Amino acid sequence: MAAIVAIVLVVLLALGTGGYFLLAGGSDDEAEQKPPLSMAQLWNTDLKKSDNPPDDDAGMRSVWMTDGAVVYGDKDGVRAYNDQTGKQEWELEAPKGAGQVCALPTEPNRDGVGAAVFDSGGGDCSFLSVFDTKSGHTLWVRNLKGREAEHHPLVGISNEQVVVAIGNSYSGYDISGGAGKWSLKWPAGDCTATFGMSNEYLARVSDCSKAKPHRTLLVQEHELDSFNAFVPNEKLEVRRIVSDSPLVLLMGEDSSDGKRELRTFDTEGKPKPDKSIPLTGDLEELDLDARSTMVDEESKVLVTTYGNRSGMTAVDLKTGKRLWKRSGAAAVALEEGNVIAVGVSHGSPSHPATQDPELISVGLRDAKTKLLGTLLTAGHDLPTGPNMSLAWNGNERVLYVEGESVSTFRPFLRAYKASNASPVPIPAD
């Protein structure tokens, strides 16, 4: 990604009428009032206020980093913004006759190809659009309308295929032209099923009247259908795939408040169940939403929010034990045995609390916490970390933030630059 350059000016420069701004520092008096490691706000772009509520389970709101741009997607569309200025570069053209966006993958593939499922009318989400995130150019579109309307589609994208679950069809399509590659076969009899999907795997629990056994969990890699696992007599439903590496599923009863558990898999050979971690006791409050849940492959530590986004916590997937928690924080990225997060300022005798969120680094296992920067903003209008969509470019030390101002209620996309100064140790919770 191209380097983001901080523009140091005394005044705010409005660039054109597009609603994006390059920002900079202030006077010496203002500088004296800045908290330690203040992060420069590089730019701010006003976003359209949506009438549609966000849907994290369907990949929205999403912030993707691509070569030279930041891509933001919600139900109103997919748009890219220059990563140095915040100026809009492109907006994805919806298929003819399409309505709002229904689903997005967690991220584009490594070649910068993205996908989106659009409403084809009446709430039936059947248009699949595949596009180049560098240019916004649509590569191909398919209408996958079935006999029944699809209201909750799933989409994933690997290096070779785009995979979608629409209606009772679960199929893979060639990424270069959209040719059908495969469709998931069903056991005998009348079937019901629940699905989970990521960019690498599918997971399905099927309940079929003529199959023996009736209920089976299938876990399968998209591009190698022989790389799979069958678990007979599965009692729970698939809620979602939490992580690809390591492979972790969230399973649960068919009710919002029913039993839940994390299921880990060994993928050294064919996938096979490894551990089941019941989400009971202090693990019951784990949110496990797609936007701020991640798993470190080496340490086997899961980080997610808890208590309806009250804060961030870590769980050891080897033992099923909770390691630590930090109130008012949410994970952004994993980096060398630490989680990079944005959280409220807690303060200490040597580090007074501020009104602005802080960028912090927390040790995955030891919870050692360091301050990387303070997101200094005029008016202190940023919401808490768990209520924003966040992306961290560690190479350029730039944080991208999407949220809604707590003072004006206007949605925005911003970029903040962290300094190269040494992080400051601060107390853990």
Residue 25: what are its φ and ψ, rounded to 5°? -75, -175
Whether omega for the bond prior to residue 352 falls within 30 degrees of 0, making it cis, is: no
Terminal CA-CA length for the chain: 35
pLDDT score of 7: 31
3-state helix, strand, coil in the chain (%, to 5): 5, 50, 50
Of 165, 142, 138, the residue nearest 154 (C-alpha): 165
**DSSP structure class, residue 355:** S
Degrees, nearest 5: CA angle 61-63-68: 155
Separation between Cα atoms, residue 213 and residue 235, nearest integer Å: 11
d(CA 401, CA 121): 32
Predicted pLDDT at 13: 32
Query: What number of CA atoms fall less than 13 Å from residue 206's CA on the CB side?
Result: 24
pLDDT score for 24: 44
**Domain residue extents for the chain:** 13-200+280-426, 201-279
* Selection from 314, 279, 268, 267 nearest residue 293 by Cα: 314
- Nearest alpha-carbon partner for 46 in 413, 415, 378, 416: 413
Question: Hey, what are 388's tokens?
Answer: 């924003």
Which phi and psi (to 5°) does residue 22 adopt? Answer: -90, 135
Listed as ranges, residues in the chain with pLDDT below 50 are 1-22, 24-32
50 is written with which tokens?
Answer: 């949506």
Q: How far is CA 195 from CA 100, 170, 241, in A?
A: 22, 9, 9
**Cβ contact 67:83 at 8 Å:** no
* pTM of the complete model: 0.88
Q: What is the 3-state secondary structure (H, E, C) of 42-85?
A: EEEEECCCCCCCCEHHHCECEEEEECCEEEEEECCEEEEEECCC
Calpha distance 326→304 (Å, rounded): 11
Can you say whether residue 137 is alpha, beta or left, with left for phi > 0 and alpha for psi between -120 and 50 degrees?
Answer: beta
Give the pLDDT of residue 267: 87
- Phi, psi (deg, nearest 5) at residue 28: -65, -35
CATH number of this structure's domain 13-200+280-426: 2.40.128.630
DSSP code for 3: P
CA 427/CA 429 separation, integer angstroms: 7
Closest C-alpha among 309, 394, 405, 407 to residue 359: 394
Q: Rounded distance, CA 424 to CA 369, Å?
A: 9
DSSP string, 227-258: SEEEEET--SEEEEEEETTTTEEEEE-SSTTS
